[in-house]
Chains A and B, each alone.
Chain A
Amino acid sequence: MRRCLLNPIFSVAAVALLCAALTPADSAQEYQAGNAAASKLPPNPKPMPRTAGGKPDLSGTWQAGGVSIFGEPGAPPLHPLPPAPARPPARQPIPYQDWADAKRKTFTVLDDPTSKCFLPGVPRIVGMPMPMEIVQTSGEVVILYESFRAWRRIPLNAKLEHPNDLTPTWMGDSVGRWQGDTLVVDVTGFNDKTWLGGMGTIHSEKLHVVERYKPLNYDSILYEATVEDPGALTKPWVTGSVLRRPIDVRVEEYECIENNPDNEHIQKAMELEKQKAGK
């Protein structure tokens, strides 16, 4: 993959096609299509705005992925974005302890908490293909997510101190501070009911996430999350994405529970498959 990314002899299209063959179809095709149009543009030279206090002003709408910003295969998005000037950390497998690795293999897609419209937790919510809005003041940062109607309050304090009366929650408790131009957010106080990302990616209540929001230019933030969980992982796991500032998009309502028969259909499909297999 890395060679694929860096080999200069490939044309833009060839690089995209080759990489598409090596990566999950959805993201590859989305990006390939979206950036076929966007690649004609240079990365945005405009820097991230600053607040009166001199901090980067991350206020605005952001999104990590999805067809609305990357476009469909063969069809660019309505509002193509200039390419991002950096890439997120390479994807690594989650380093599970043996018990957690064994347990996570017992799950099916029906167990995914988000399939029942529960809150996705952190960092999973950041990768959802829907926008989020960052509202920034000198004392706190608030993130309003379209997906699952989630929100996070991130009070800023230099010592990253959490309240001492936390009970486990889906989205955890967030506190933040500025480290140079990077917003560092410390998240703890999670329940053990969310998944970190893909199928069966469980964790314990000892989950601790450190997020870094590093401004790259006007329309890009490098997002990195270091995930520690001495209850389920053998070592920290790093994940991330590049948040883009979508054009002409605002956070709107998403009432997930409104009409959600998918698990019912999946259950039936699984039963049919079992019958066919003679089980």
Chain B
Amino acid sequence: MRFRFPAAGFVLALGLVAAAPVWAHHSFAAEYDSKELITLKGVITKVEWTNPHIYIYIDVKDANGEVTNWALEGYPPNTLKRTGMSRADLKTGDEITITAYKAKDGTNTGAGREITFTDGTKKFAGPIGQ
């Protein structure tokens, strides 16, 4: 082969030009506000382990005891599997804390980012805001 292996810093930067969308099939910025990262603590009521994205539904109780159900979108199932989260990690009835970028449509929907489980384990549910 004729090419030479370049220096480490050069190699490191190579991927910067190899852009690939974090979400393969739709715009993040049109749907979610990357400047509004909220933290929600709630109980899982439903998990849709579906393509093109998973949805985690949680009941969040406010200071007055009022409960609101939130829908949080995440990576596709195969991506989660490859980054270390399985369907079994998300059980109905379990409590989680999740950071999420709020949806721009005014509903209780968000793009889930990082989940903290009750044992302190953290896993990414979806991409960083763009």
A residues near B, CB below 8 A?
Answer: 1, 4-6, 8, 10-12, 15-16, 19-20, 23-32, 34-35, 39, 42-43, 47, 64-68, 70, 72-73, 75, 77-78, 83-88, 90-91, 108-109, 112, 114-115, 117, 127-130, 146-148, 199, 216-217, 241-242, 246, 249, 252-256, 258-260, 262-263, 265-266, 268-270, 272-273
Contact = CB atoms under 8 A, between A and B. Distances in A.
A43 B5 contact: yes
Nearest to B78: A252
Nearest to A74: B128
Contacts, number: 216
Given A5-B10, A67-B127, A242 B20 contact: no
The dominant DSSP class at the B interface is loop
Interface of B: 1, 3, 5-22, 24-27, 30-31, 48, 50-53, 55, 73, 75-76, 78-79, 82-84, 103-107, 109, 124, 127-128, 130
What are the nearest 7 A-B pairs in CB distance?
Answer: A65-B20, A31-B15, A269-B104, A68-B82, A268-B105, A259-B50, A83-B11
A84 B11 contact: yes
B88 to A, nearest CB: 17
Nearest to A78: B84
Contact of B12 (A6, A12, A23): A12
B25 A27 contact: no
Contact of B104 (A1, A114, A272): A272
Contacts of A273: 104
